[in-house]
């Protein structure tokens, strides 16, 4: 069970920090990912992190602006988003996969949160 929070309305150039709280004792075994879906568009990969946090991956569109991290003791994964752009506007989803290796493909993830809206105004 995954629950996202931290979305909202922000001006271009601003920052937001998304959080994803996970329930269950095996969170530390899971790779976690963030995906987003804008209106009229397909869901796209944003970032992923392996079970230990030692490997992270980013879409080219967010590289250098977004940072993914996790706290296995708190069963949480985070997405720090800086220098936000209007094109970052979307519903952001947290996802988990039992295998510890991160992956950029949404199909590899078994568990999804309900999403949190991020709106960036110009």
Angstrom distance (rounded) from CA 56 to CA 38 = 23
pLDDT at 100: 80
pLDDT at 116: 98
Angstrom distance (rounded) from CA 41 to CA 33 = 19
pLDDT in tens, the chain (122 residues): 899 999 999 999 999 999 999 987 788 889 999 999 999 999 999 999 999 999 999 999 999 999 999 999 999 999 999 999 999 999 999 999 988 889 999 999 999 999 999 999 99
pLDDT at 28: 87
Angstrom distance (rounded) from CA 69 to CA 72 = 10
- Residue 41 DSSP class: S
Give 73: exposed, middle or buried? Use CB within 10 Å, 0-12, 13-18, 19+: exposed
Structure tokens at 56: 């992270």
């Amino acid at each position: 069970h995954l629950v996202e929070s931290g979305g909202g309305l922000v001006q271009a150039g601003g920052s937001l920090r998304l959080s994803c709280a996970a329930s269950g004792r095996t969170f530390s075994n899971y790779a976690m990912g963030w995906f987003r879906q804008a209106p009229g568009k397909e869901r796209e990969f944003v970032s992923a992190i392996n079970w230990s946090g030692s490997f992270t991956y980013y879409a080219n569109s967010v590289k250098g602006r977004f940072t993914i991290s996790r706290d296995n003791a708190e069963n949480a994964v985070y997405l720090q988003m800086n220098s936000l752009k209007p094109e970052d506007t979307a519903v952001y989803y947290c996802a988990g996969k039992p295998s510890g290796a991160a992956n950029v493909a949404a199909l590899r993830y078994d568990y999804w949160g309900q999403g949190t809206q991020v709106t960036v105004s110009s």
